[in-house]
Amino acid sequence: MADTFDYTHGVAAKAWDGLNKCYVLKNRVTVTDVTASTDILQLIDIPAGTYVFQVITKIVTPKSGRAGTVGHGTTEAAYWDAAITLAASAGTYTSAVAGTDTYGTSNGCLYSAADTIDMTVDGDVIGLVIDVYAVCIDVS
């Protein structure tokens, strides 16, 4: 059975009240305890009433020979990206929407309830460092 590891730091913020309610959530994840295939990393908390346009990942410190999928919640594991190479060179970006990643699977998602952006991995990824960005708009 897969384990779930929360790397979200337990915070999510919406843009200040006003006319500009588009914003970007970012989290740098340093993996310290994911060792099994199909383990789930919770990367970013998404508040209720948020439309996510795009999820972008950047490899900071790669993990040789490993891959994953980027999804939302634990029920749609490949919603944002069906195949991300965690062994890619440092500085490599993937983008599920309007990017160069051919494995992008979504053009946006409404989070009517609070949820997370997750990554399911295919094995030991201890030592992986990855930046994750979510381009959002507050629709509440």
* Model pLDDT, residue 130: 92
Question: How far, in Å, CA of 107 to CA of 12, rounded?
Answer: 22
pLDDT exceeds cutoff 90 at 76? no
pLDDT exceeds cutoff 60 at 12? no
CATH 2.60.120 fits 4-138, yes or no: yes
List the single range of 16-25, 46-55, 83-92, 121-130 with lowest mean pLDDT.
16-25
Question: How far, in Å, CA of 81 to CA of 102, rounded?
Answer: 9
What global pTM score does this model have?
A: 0.81
pLDDT exceeds cutoff 90 at 60? yes
Are 137 and 46 a contacting pair, CB within 8 Å? no
Cβ neighbors of 139 (< 8 A, separation 6 or more) are 49, 50, 51, 110
Beta bridge partners of 16: none
Question: How far, in Å, CA of 81 to CA of 77, rounded?
Answer: 9
* Model pLDDT, residue 64: 85
